[in-house]
Amino acid sequence: MTTIDSRKHVHVACAIIERDGLVLSARRSASMNLPLRWEFPGGKIEPGEGREECLTRELVEEMGVEIAVGRPLTPTTHSYPTFDVTLYPYVCSIVSGEITLHEHSAMTWLPPERMLELEWADADLPIILEYQGQQQG
């Protein structure tokens, strides 16, 4: 029997990267957890690492770009069958570099109102809805 305490809980910083009114979506590779689902790029926060510091490091590692970390959105926690994840989203912009995918299988730039046309990782959905709500007002 599994108790809630033995479940893995991952803390992840993720970037909602804006450019010219569009938002970057990245598709997980077939070999990753949640294969071929779309997500906001980012990664696990290391012990002793700040959320914004994590995001800056991960975007260099995953996509080869330097980002400016902007305003935070509401953190969200989701329970997958084998683990829990808390996402800490930040609205960001690229300050230097061209995107090169090191971990993801694809990427696309979409207007905020079309983001839900993709098959997203479940944990990202509340973030999309909050972000879209901010775009309306």
Over residues 75-82, mean pLDDT: 96
Domain that holds residue 10: 4-129
Q: Contact 35/29 with Cβ under 8 angstroms?
A: yes
Distance CA 44, CA 85 (A): 10
Q: What is the pTM of this model?
A: 0.92
Count of structural domains within the chain: 1
Tell me, what CATH number does 88's domain have?
A: 3.90.79.10
Query: In the prediction, which pLDDT does 32 show?
Result: 87
Distance CA 91, CA 137 (A): 16
Query: In the prediction, which pLDDT does 5 show?
Result: 60
Tens digit of each residue's pLDDT (9 = 90 or more) over 17-68:
999 999 999 999 999 889 999 999 999 999 999 999 999 999 999 999 999 9
Residue 134 lies in a domain: no
Residue 54 lies in a domain: yes
Residue 25 lies in a domain: yes
